[in-house]
């Protein structure tokens, strides 16, 4: 979640689901990492982070130390560690817009910087690269070297976690799935076309939970809370952030046990706060963040629901009249933004997961005069 997603609003939204701060131990038996999110914090250059001056192996050792501290018994023996990195060739088309927006925040890579990258000889990774201190900020600015960085960090994480006695490990990069397991503890993976790490993390967490593991997701991305509301099955128990540990089972119970209520709660989150794929409705609709949070908590009626059609296909239905009764200014500009929110809901609800992205019916400018619109089919 983006602009306005403050600690105060998070506390209001999460409520009793807040377990403790980022150092709180949990009873998790499986830890699933959003690789890019977890590693970026340790590659970034800022005071107190040693200037970002760490090797890939050094970053991996930091993460291993952190996860040991989070376990109930201080060890990874008998635990599962799963790490997923982006597959840049399988990202949705909308991701290109996100990347372009972020690229504008950086200066173009200079000829001198390109030469410095060339001297690293990253086209053929070897054991020596694992212990080299890299110019991480520079490498992560270019999509080609970014893919290499994720592969390098994936190799380092696999090597370091394999040094943990009795720990089953899987690391998934764009090129390969690295596995070391005990007692066949890792369930089969389900075929998916998704390439974004946070969606693959959610998918794997659900598979591990179905196999009897108590799962903790480790990330910095608050979209995981949104995804937890959209999960059809039990899924992960916890999501751990640098400063928070949240019980997402309690979070789901807080906003209702029916599919429609959870979809509507997720809609209100996206209406209140910016995400990578959608913008807040607050400014064009003349609404305040607090007003959307209040509606989310009250949930007087479902703005989005899920039905099964005569062919047995799950469908998402938007009810414009229900939203119109909340907004102070329903207009064409708001309708356009609602379309991006509906797409984001379908995407994070894993509609059409065998494709890179779902296809939806976007609402027209006069959407406010319709009773309901079926906007997505899970085909």
* pLDDT tens string 262-312: 999 999 999 999 888 999 999 999 999 999 999 888 878 899 999 999 999
Per the prediction, the chain carries an average pLDDT of: 90
| Position 3 pLDDT exceeds 50 | no
Who wins on pLDDT, 77 or 50?
A: 77
The candidate with the shortest Cα–Cα distance to 200, out of 109, 120, 88, 39, is 88
Using a pLDDT cut of 70, give the percent of the chain over it.
Answer: 94
Residue indicated by tokens 């209520």: 261
What integer pLDDT is reported at residue 348 of this predicted model?
93
Q: Across the beta sheet with 314-318, what order do the strands follow?
A: 304-308, 314-318, 373-377
| Position 37 pLDDT exceeds 70 | yes
Dist. CA 279–CA 275, nearest whole Å: 6
What integer pLDDT is reported at residue 5 of this predicted model?
75
Q: DSSP secondary-structure letter at 371? A: S
CATH of domain 7-253: 3.40.50
> 307: helix, coil or strand?
strand
> 305: helix, coil or strand?
strand
Of the candidate ranges 50-54, 111-115, 259-263, 303-307, the one whose mean pLDDT is the lowest: 50-54
| Position 51 pLDDT exceeds 60 | no
What are the boundaries of each domain within the chain? 7-253, 258-377
What integer pLDDT is reported at residue 256 of this predicted model?
84
- For strands 30-34 and 18-20, give the pairing: unpaired
Of the CA atoms within 13 Å of residue 25, those in its CB half-sphere come to 9
Over the stretch 80-93, which tens digit does the pLDDT of each residue have? 999 999 998 888 87
- The whole-number average pLDDT for the span 56-70 is 95
Of the candidate ranges 30-39, 147-156, 189-198, 328-337, the one whose mean pLDDT is the lowest: 189-198
End-to-end Cα spacing for the chain? 28
The candidate with the shortest Cα–Cα distance to 87, out of 154, 14, 174, 203, is 174
| Position 105 pLDDT exceeds 70 | no
352 alpha-carbon distance from chain centroid: 18
Provide the 10 A C-beta neighbour count for residue 359: 13
The candidate with the shortest Cα–Cα distance to 219, out of 194, 238, 195, is 238
What integer pLDDT is reported at residue 99 of this predicted model?
59
What integer pLDDT is reported at residue 49 of this predicted model?
56
Where do the H-state alpha helices sit in the chain? 7-14, 35-43, 56-70, 94-103, 111-118, 136-139, 143-161, 197-210, 223-230, 248-254, 259-272, 282-285, 289-298, 320-324, 332-348
- The whole-number average pLDDT for the span 129-136 is 94
pTM above 0.85, yes or no: yes
What integer pLDDT is reported at residue 280 of this predicted model?
93
């Amino acid at each position: 979640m983006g602009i306005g997603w403050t600690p105060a609003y998070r506390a209001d939204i999460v409520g009793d689901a807040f377990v403790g701060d980022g150092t709180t131990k949990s009873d998790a038996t499986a830890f699933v990492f959003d690789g890019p999110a977890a590693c970026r914090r340790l590659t970034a250059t800022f005071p107190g982070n040693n200037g970002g001056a760490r090797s890939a192996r050094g970053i991996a050792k930091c993460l291993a130390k952190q996860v040991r501290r989070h376990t109930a018994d201080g060890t990874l023996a008998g635990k599962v560690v799963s790490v997923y990195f982006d597959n840049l060739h399988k990202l949705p088309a909308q991701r290109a817009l996100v990347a372009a927006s972020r690229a504008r925040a950086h200066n173009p890579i200079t000829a001198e910087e390109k030469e410095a990258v060339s001297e690293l000889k990253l086209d053929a990774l070897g054991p020596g690269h694992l212990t080299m201190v890299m110019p991480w900020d520079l490498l992560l600015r270019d999509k080609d070297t970014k893919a290499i960085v994720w592969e390098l960090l994936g190799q380092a994480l696999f090597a370091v976690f394999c040094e943990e006695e009795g720990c089953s490990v899987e690391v998934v990069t764009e090129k390969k799935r690295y596995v070391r397991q005990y007692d066949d503890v890792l369930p089969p993976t389900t075929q998916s076309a998704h390439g974004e790490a946070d969606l693959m993390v959610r998918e794997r967490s659900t598979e591990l939970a179905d196999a009897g593991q108590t799962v903790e997701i480790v990330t910095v991305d608050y979209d995981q809370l949104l995804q937890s509301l959209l999960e059809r099955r039990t899924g992960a128990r916890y999501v751990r952030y640098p400063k928070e540990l949240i019980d997402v089972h309690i979070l789901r119970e807080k906003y209702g046990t029916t599919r429609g209520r959870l979809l509507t709660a997720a809609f209100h989150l996206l209406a209140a706060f910016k995400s990578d794929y959608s913008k807040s409705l607050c400014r064009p609709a003349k609404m305040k963040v607090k007003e959307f949070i209040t509606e989310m908590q009250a949930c007087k009626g479902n703005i989005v629901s899920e039905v099964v059609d005569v062919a047995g296909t799950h469908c998402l239905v938007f009810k414009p009249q229900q939203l119109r009764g909340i907004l102070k200014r329903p207009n064409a500009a708001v309708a356009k933004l609602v379309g991006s929110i509906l797409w984001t809901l379908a995407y994070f609800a894993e509609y059409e997961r065998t494709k890179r992205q779902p296809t939806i019916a976007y609402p027209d400018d006069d959407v406010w005069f319709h009773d309901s619109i079926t906007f997505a089919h899970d085909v």
